[in-house]
Amino acid sequence: MRGDYEELVDEVSALVGAPATLEDRDFRLIAFGAHDSEDDGAMDPVRTRSILTRRSTTEVRSWFERFGIARATGPVRIPAAPSAGVFRGRICLPVRHRGIVHGYVWLLDDSDAAPGPDPRLIAAMEVCDRIGDRLAAESRAGADVGRELRAALTAGPGERRETARGALRAALGPDADEVHALVCVLGWTAAPDASASASAGSDDPTDGERELPGIRTTPGAAALCRVPSPGPLGPVPAAEPLAVLVRLRSAQHLSPARTAAARLLETSAAPGAVAGIGEPARGLAGLSDAWLQATTAARAARAQPRLAPVADWAGLGPYRMLAAIPPGAAPDPAVRPLLEPSHRELARTAEVYLDCAGQAGRTAAALAIHRQTLYYRLSRIEQLTGLDLDEGEDRLLLHMALKAARL
């Protein structure tokens, strides 16, 4: 698919006699044309950054959007703005399908161009229409696969689950038998203007209802959807968790899944979003287990800062065992008094003390308190819980209960 876009961008470059780049409507690079000009200025910082990092800066995006490119139906000339990092003017060719902008083709502006309609740009816009058709078809296909993934993850056991997995398998085609990892993103919220720009002037209900980033813009993603929470996932997230099915080269290389998770976290309009990655598996048979692992890893990333922002199931340590405790389950009766808001500092002291293997010196240093203060707090903890911190099983119970409370 990427090769198709590169061929179309090369066609635009040939028509206008200048190197072109294609970005999606979120200013992420899709393809760029060959650049063989002897004019070093043609590789200006904006184009270079777009090619090397596959995205534009916020300043560049804000400058370009001031000229109404999201609403434009024809070429838009944009002057230079050195303060925003745009040192040369641009021509923006909006890529649209049925009234929806799906991306932009960018050209360096020729300041010597004659006024009036440019036949080269008119011809280039016809190519942009074909690009828009391809992007729209890809978006619809991705939405279809996302719906099948949602159905497969929410279907109950038995025949209904098998039917849902069969539909997902059909939607994925040969990729269904490859190695995949499931990613769960908690707290992801779309940018306020994303759905508005997507639906403005649309007569395509699929595009108008589109809320999530396109499948193509999430590296390696085979499907992406919202999934209803089976129960409380710690603090109430801003929206239902996101599920992303990511194809891997092998079960030992999670990089595509981590990249997909990081890309989504970067696009969240709300701070504090986290992600978890389930254990990779070949085929779709273990989808339910992988989703439980991914949601658990995301919960752990939210609870434990050292695991954030992206945690994977294999690296959770004790949180893998704590996953067996249902979300929202009542805490152990002995530890419940310590978890009351009025005793928050004592609970933190107990957790740090146990994290430090019961070493008073390390604990006092970590908490920045005197040892005598620590001993007093430990005594209060024993009084509140009835536990003996010199007993291994009591310490184990307290430690696990405090970690479980984080989830």
Residue ranges of the chain whose pLDDT lies below 50: 40-42, 193-211, 213-217, 235-237
pLDDT of residue 104: 94
Q: Does one domain contain both 185 and 304? A: yes
Q: Is 145 a domain residue?
A: no
Q: How many domains does the chain have?
A: 3
pTM comes to 0.62
Secondary structure, 3-state, the chain: CHHHHHHHHHHHHHHHCCCEEEEECCCEEEEECCCCCCCHHHCCHHHHHHHHHCECCHHHHHHHHCCCCCCCCCCEEECCEHHHCECCCEEEEEEEECCEEEEEEEEECCCCCCCCCCHHHHHHHHHHHHHHHHHHHHHHHHHHHHHHHHHHHHCCCCHHHHHHHHHHHHHHHHHHHCEEEEEEEECCCCCCCHHHHHHCCCCCHHHHCCCCCCHHHCCCEEEEEECCCCCCCCCCCCCCCEEEEEECCCCCCCHHHHHHHHHHHHHCCCCCCEEEECCCEECCCCHHHHHHHHHHHHHHHHHCHHHCCEEEHHHCCCHHHHCCCCCCCCCCCCCHHHHCHHHHHHHHHHHHHHHCCCCHHHHHHHHCCCHHHHHHHHHHHHHHHCCCCCCHHHHHHHHHHHHHHHC
Rounded distance, CA 340 to CA 94, Å?
Answer: 56
| pLDDT score of 195 | 39
Range of the domain at 377: 336-406
| Shared domain check, 183 and 86 | no
My answer on whether 350 and 384 are in the same domain is yes
CATH number at residue 342: 1.10.10.2840
Residue 142: inside a domain, yes or no? no
Residue 305 lies inside a defined structural domain of this protein: yes
Residue 49: give its domain's CATH number.
Answer: 3.30.450.40
Residue 129 domain-assigned (yes or no): yes
**φ/ψ (deg, to 5) at 63:** -65, -45
Residues 122 and 184 in one domain: no
Token pair belonging to 82: 């050195």
Same domain, yes or no: 189 and 309 = yes
Instruction: Decide if 156 is inside a domain.
Output: no
Q: Is residue 386 part of a domain?
A: yes
184 shares a domain with 126 = no
Which residues contact residue 54 at a Cβ distance below 8 angstroms, ignoring those fewer than 6 apart? 28, 29
13 and 123 belong to one structural domain: yes
Asked if residue 284 and residue 197 are part of one domain, the reply reads yes
Among residues 9, 24, 28, 5, the alpha carbon closest in space to that of 259 is found at 28
Same domain, 301 and 345: no
CA angle 25, 26, 29 (to 5 degrees): 90
61 and 29, same structural domain? yes
**48 within a domain of the structure (yes/no):** yes
Q: CA-to-CA distance for 402 and 407, rounded, in angstroms?
A: 9
Q: Cα–Cα distance between 87 and 111 in angstroms, integer?
A: 13
pLDDT at 194: 45
pLDDT of residue 198: 36
**What SS3 string covers 133-199?**
HHHHHHHHHHHHHHHHHHHHHHCCCCHHHHHHHHHHHHHHHHHHHCEEEEEEEECCCCCCCHHHHHH
For the chain, the C-alpha Rg in angstroms (whole number) is 26
374 token code pair: 């620590």
| Four-CA torsion 293, 295, 301, 307, nearest 10 degrees | 20
> Which residues are CB-neighbours of 125 under 8 A, at least 6 positions away?
74, 75, 93
Q: How far apart are CA 94 and CA 127, in angstroms?
A: 11
Which domain-ending residue is among 254, 289, 322?
Answer: 322
How high is the pLDDT of residue 189?
A: 85
